[in-house]
Amino acid sequence: MLKELEETRAKVIVLLVLNYYGDFSKIRREDYYLLYQPRLFRNYQGITFVNKIHEALKFQEKIQEDEVERVNVPIHHYGYMEDLIDEKNKSDRNLALLKEELSDPEHSPWIEYHIVSELYRQKNFEAAFQFVNLSIMRFIKEEIYPPSLLYKLKYEMLIETENWEGAWPGIDKALELYPDYVDLHYYKGLILYHLSQYEEALKSFNHCLKLGDQESKHLILNGVGSFMAKEYCDLCLEKIGKEDPA
């Protein structure tokens, strides 16, 4: 990596971040979300951090495509594993800081998104769902496409609460915006599977296998484009076989 950094002329370096989830004492190598994020940038280039929490880069001038370079060096992040969050009261601290920023009438709609993330971690799904819809509306109001992360969280919550009817067929609208997002196709498959629409679910899971789970533009749950989708393909085929023995 040092050689790549010495040779690059890019202003921003994007690295692969592996965010592990679950119980730290029972950690498994395959339990992570992956996302390419800007993690290194040149000093004195008008690039600064904004927000008190979940800091984001702010560019004084628009960064051109050839000024950003992706380097496939992983960062292993364990800070949001369940027992570590409990130890640091991290979620409560984050919510307090985010609510301070929420009071600013010119705050970014990303603040609502980050509040959703914290409420989701606390299993406060009712409040989280209100904020996820509010964030989507605020992005639209500012004439910005709501980020794919918002739709991922929205349908994760509906699936977690087994609100299959509430999730279907609305997820198709999210897929119209992000047809390359494997997680949304996986969630669609789960929804259809639990609505006993096994043949349609099978199509979604097969499409997940075609997409794979290494897409660089979205937050991806490891396995939705590989072993997790394959497992549900097998379950769908088993259900279809039982319905139609011929």
Residue 54 within a domain: yes
Q: Is the pLDDT of residue 35 over 90?
A: no
Residue 10 within a domain: yes
pLDDT at 86 (0 to 100): 59
Indicate the number of domains in the chain.
Answer: 1
DSSP symbols for 140-193: HHTT-PPPHHHHHHHHHHHHHTT-HHHHTTTHHHHHHH-TT-HHHHHHHHHHHH
Band of the pLDDT at 212, cuts 50, 70, 90? Answer: very high
**pLDDT single digits (tens) 234-245:** 999 999 987 665
Residue 59 within a domain: yes
Burial class from Cβ neighbours inside 10 Å (0-12, 13-18, 19+) for residue 11 reads: buried
pTM, two decimals, is 0.81
The mean pLDDT value for 166-171 works out to 94
Band of the pLDDT at 206, cuts 50, 70, 90? Answer: very high
pLDDT at 22 (0 to 100): 80
Residue 14 within a domain: yes
Secondary structure letter of residue 26 according to DSSP: G
Residue 21 within a domain: yes
pLDDT at 3 (0 to 100): 58
Residue 2 within a domain: yes
pLDDT at 90 (0 to 100): 73
Residue count of the chain, please give it. 246
pLDDT at 175 (0 to 100): 97
Question: Domain range for residue 72?
Answer: 1-88
Q: CB of 19 within 8 A of CB of 82?
A: no
The mean pLDDT value for 107-130 works out to 88
pLDDT at 241 (0 to 100): 87
Residue 224 within a domain: no
Residue 188 within a domain: no
Higher pLDDT, 145 or 79: 145
Q: 126: which 2 tokens?
A: 């009712």
